[in-house]
Chain A
Amino acid sequence: MMTQILTVLAFLLMALGVWGLMSRRHLIRIIIGFSLLDTGVHLLLVAFGYRSGGTAPILSDGIGVSGLVSGAVDPIPSALVLTAIVIGLAVTALMLSFAVRMYARTRSIYIDKNKELKW
């Protein structure tokens, strides 16, 4: 149930992100749409790593190795999401900097005014 809800939430967030990316004309909002899409994917990964009633995969005094094996969530998706988040930031930063340069050139923040290259 938990997984399912999170997956659907992730799905909706991705759909919203894609919709924002495709329907908004403002560059900043497009990038926001992108980060929503990213967040959705991250949620999806975390959901996939979840096990019912799972705990954090951290060894502490209360939980021994056997407790980890029987009760901890999958650490791999966490690791993947961590990487993905950082990469997402990198992409967002670059996109924003490009958006600034686009604005500096065309003096318009709207995406459909920024299409000199075509065909």
Chain B
Amino acid sequence: MILAMLITFGVMMLVAALVALYSRDIVTAIVASGVVSLLASVLYVLFGAPDVAMTEAAIGSALTTVVFLFAWSRIRSIASRDDSTNGEVR
């Protein structure tokens, strides 16, 4: 049971990681990387480390994602200020 969960979550993590690296949309990528962390925190619980799980969930998945998104929105705002021609963002 635990093993099955572990493997399932593991595969999901890898898929999410691939999505984070290869998705077309940056926001999707950021969210996917958050999902990787979230899944990791689940695994931590399975491995008897609830403290780490909480931390990973709070910091790794939540806060980091927020920071990513803020940074991205800042880049977007700089790009949109530039009459959106010479900046290359995607």
A touching B, CB within 8 angstroms? yes
Q: How far is the CA of A86 from the CA of B79 in the complex (A)?
A: 31
Q: How far is the CA of A104 from the CA of B80 in the complex (A)?
A: 12
Chain B residue nearest to A28 (CB atoms) is B26
B43-90 with Cβ < 8 A to chain A? 43-44, 47-52, 55-56, 59-60, 63-64, 67-68, 70-72, 74-75, 78-79, 82, 86-90
Q: How far is the CA of A100 from the CA of B29 in the complex (A)?
A: 17
A92 near B48 (CB under 8 angstroms)? no
**How near does chain B come to A96, taking the closest CB pair, in angstroms?**
4
B47 near A39 (CB under 8 angstroms)? no
Select the residue from A19, A77, A103 with max chain B CB neighbours within 10 A: A103
Select the residue from B6, B21, B30, B88 with max chain A CB neighbours within 10 A: B21
**Known A-B contacts A42-B52, A78-B52, A96-B68; A6 and B43 likewise in contact (beta carbons under 8 Å):** yes
A104 near B78 (CB under 8 angstroms)? yes
**Known A-B contacts A16-B18, A26-B26; A103 and B56 likewise in contact (beta carbons under 8 Å):** no
**How near does chain B come to A59, taking the closest CB pair, in angstroms?**
13
Main secondary structure of the interface of B (DSSP, over half): helix
Q: How far is the CA of A28 from the CA of B33 in the complex (A)?
A: 11
A54 near B7 (CB under 8 angstroms)? no
**How near does chain B come to A72, taking the closest CB pair, in angstroms?**
7
Q: How far is the CA of A43 from the CA of B44 in the complex (A)?
A: 8
Select the residue from A20, A32, A56, A89 with max chain B CB neighbours within 10 A: A32
A107 near B6 (CB under 8 angstroms)? no
Q: How far is the CA of A109 from the CA of B17 in the complex (A)?
A: 21
Q: How far is the CA of A24 from the CA of B68 in the complex (A)?
A: 16
B72 near A28 (CB under 8 angstroms)? yes
A1-45 with Cβ < 8 A to chain B? 1-2, 5-6, 9, 12-13, 16-17, 19-20, 24, 26, 28-29, 31-33, 35-36, 39, 42-43
- List 10 additional A-B contacts (Cβ < 8 Å) besides A29-B21, A35-B33, A56-B49: A13-B17, A16-B21, A43-B40, A47-B47, A73-B48, A81-B49, A88-B60, A93-B67, A103-B75, A103-B87
